[in-house]
């Protein structure tokens, strides 16, 4: 039996808190972030559990499942469209509230339900009437733009806003996010954003170089969710203009935008892969790239990709947006360019391609991964 399963189902160890992290996304950055919090909490003595949809256990690294109880109990999302999809979504929200509340009622004592995404319009119902606290991670106070404006998307936005404005404690990454909420009359606790993939994969570059320097390739990389505000079309144009290799990899969340990108890359030599990337492969691709591109056109949050890039010491070329400036600070491996400026990005890529790897790119930097997550766990369990 995995450590923590009996503790969470039957009650916390004497004096230890319990934590149930609710993550309605089973692959990608959200489930990695949710599981990393649960893993770090378990290592600090809490009884930790993740409730999610089918597919998470196959996606997450197997060793993580020995420490964290990941349960695929939230039903799959409907695959219908239009009015039928909107009605199905509304019905599923009721089912999900009840399902999650039933699982949360099982641990004894007091604890915390942490909602990884603002999906549930009445988050306190997730407690199922028992004692405890509900907290919400707000990754994107300003929602990402999408080309979909249908009824189901409008319902998703409304339920998301209802969750964000509910009477719960909010946790954000970045002061800009906290200020945005404050402007709406909402309070939040700010914590930094460490890289989940490093904790889950359990691999960090050795700063002494004893394990050997990672291979630094010639190609550039765009990695992460593929959505309109990520400026992937800018990266493609810049790569073509400068004659650079470019790999774009990540799961597309906007079919119309993906179709546009597929048409753009035809005959260019740019490689586009619409797929989820595991934590270990995510780490390997970043370490093996010449530089990671974040040519975002609009972004008000902190970036999980940038967190990983900074922690392993890889080079990056990043849009000069306030939230990303705050996150990167004066790190010498980051080159800032004006958003949506193809020429500036192409020039920066040419400059980086001609420069030798920096010492940090060769060796990475020493990072205490568990310590990096401790502040988040303290905020969650406080």
- Given this model, what pLDDT does residue 15 score? 59
- Given this model, what pLDDT does residue 362 score? 52
Q: Which residues contact 345 (CB under 8 A, 6 or more apart)?
A: 234, 235, 238, 293, 295, 317, 337
Strand partners, 294: 318
- Given this model, what pLDDT does residue 49 score? 95
Contact (CB, 8 A) for 305 and 193: no
Q: Which residues contact 246 (CB under 8 A, 6 or more apart)?
A: 219, 220, 221, 222, 235, 236, 239, 270, 271, 293
- Given this model, what pLDDT does residue 323 score? 92
- Given this model, what pLDDT does residue 215 score? 45
Mean pLDDT of all residues in 320-329? 93
Give yes or no for residue 292 having a pLDDT over 80: yes
Integer Cα distance of 374 and 310 in angstroms = 18
Contact (CB, 8 A) for 47 and 68: no
Give yes or no for residue 182 having a pLDDT over 70: yes
Distances (CA, A) of 270 to 243, 245, 250, 368, 369: 10, 6, 14, 36, 34
pLDDT band at 175 (very low <50, low <70, confident <90, very high): confident
Tokens of 114: 């942490």
Strands (DSSP E) found in 161-262 = 169-173, 189-191, 220-223, 246-250
Integer Cα distance of 151 and 157 in angstroms = 10
Closest CA to 163 of 97, 99, 238: 97
- pLDDT tens per residue across span 46-77: 999 999 999 999 999 888 999 999 999 998 87
Pick the most confident of 41-45, 158-162, 282-286, 345-349. 345-349
Number of neighbours of residue 158 by Cβ within 10 angstroms: 11
Integer Cα distance of 271 and 254 in angstroms = 18
Strand partners, 18: 47, 111
SS3 category, 294: strand
Integer Cα distance of 263 and 240 in angstroms = 14
The per-residue b/e assignment along 163-188, b for 16 or more CB within 10 angstroms, e otherwise, is bbebebbbbbbbebbbebbeeeeeeb
Give yes or no for residue 8 having a pLDDT over 60: no
SS3 category, 69: strand
Pick the most confident of 92-101, 197-206, 219-228. 219-228
The per-residue b/e assignment along 89-109, b for 16 or more CB within 10 angstroms, e otherwise, is beebbeebbebbbebbeebeb
DSSP assignment letter at 134: E
- pLDDT tens per residue across span 250-278: 999 888 999 999 999 999 999 999 998 98
- Given this model, what pLDDT does residue 214 score? 39
Give yes or no for residue 128 having a pLDDT over 70: yes
- pLDDT tens per residue across span 207-218: 333 333 334 567
Mean pLDDT (the chain) is 85
Mean pLDDT of all residues in 32-44? 94
- Given this model, what pLDDT does residue 247 score? 97
Sorted by where each starts, the structural domains of the chain and their CATH numbers stand as 5-200+370-381 (3.40.50.2000), 205-363 (3.40.50.2000)
Give yes or no for residue 22 having a pLDDT over 50: yes
- Given this model, what pLDDT does residue 198 score? 79
Give yes or no for residue 204 having a pLDDT over 50: no
Distances (CA, A) of 145 to 31, 149, 229, 230, 232: 21, 10, 7, 10, 14
- Given this model, what pLDDT does residue 205 score? 38
Q: Is 201 exposed, middle or buried (0-12, 13-18, 19+ CB in 10 A)?
A: buried
* Pairing of β 271-274 and β 69-72: unpaired
């Amino acid at each position: 039996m995995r450590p923590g399963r009996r503790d969470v189902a039957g009650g916390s160890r004497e004096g230890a808190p319990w934590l149930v992290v609710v993550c309605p996304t089973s692959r990608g950055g959200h489930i990695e972030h949710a599981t990393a919090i649960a893993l770090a909490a378990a290592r600090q003595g809490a009884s930790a559990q993740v409730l999610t949809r089918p597919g998470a256990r196959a996606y997450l690294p197997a060793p993580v499942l020995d420490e964290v109880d990941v349960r695929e109990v939230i039903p799959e999302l409907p695959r219908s469209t239009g009015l039928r999809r909107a009605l199905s979504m509304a019905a599923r929200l009721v089912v999900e509230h009840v399902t999650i509340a039933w699982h949360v009622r099982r641990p004894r004592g007091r604890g915390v339900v942490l909602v990884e995404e603002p999906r549930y319009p009445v988050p306190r119902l997730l407690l199922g009437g028992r004692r405890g606290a509900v907290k919400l991670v707000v990754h994107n106070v300003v929602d990402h733009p999408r080309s979909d404006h249908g009824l189901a998307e409008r319902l998703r936005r409304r339920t998301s806003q209802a969750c964000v404005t509910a009477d719960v404690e909010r946790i954000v990454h970045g002061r800009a996010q906290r200020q945005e909420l404050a402007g709406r009359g909402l309070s939040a606790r700010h914590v930094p954003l460490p890289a989940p993939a490093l904790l889950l994969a359990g691999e960090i570059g050795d700063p002494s170089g004893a394990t050997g320097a990672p291979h630094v390739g010639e190609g550039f990389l765009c990695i992460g969710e593929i959505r309109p505000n990520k400026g992937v079309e800018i990266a493609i144009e810049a790569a073509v203009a400068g004659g650079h290799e470019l790999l774009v990899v990540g799961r597309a969340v906007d079919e119309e935008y993906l179709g546009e990108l597929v048409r753009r890359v035809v005959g260019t030599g740019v490689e586009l892969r619409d797929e989820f990337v595991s934590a270990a492969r995510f780490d390997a691709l970043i370490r093996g790239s010449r530089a990671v591109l974040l040519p975002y056109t609009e972004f008000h949050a902190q970036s999980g990709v940038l967190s990983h890039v900074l922690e392993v010491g890889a080079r990056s070329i990043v849009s000069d947006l306030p939230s990303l400036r705050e996150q990167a600070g004066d790190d010498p491996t980051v080159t800032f360019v004006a958003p949506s400026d193809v020429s500036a990005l192409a020039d920066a890529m040419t400059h980086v391609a001609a420069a030798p790897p920096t010492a940090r790119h060769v060796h990475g930097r020493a990072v205490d991964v568990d310590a990096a997550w401790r502040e988040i766990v303290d905020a969650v369990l406080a």
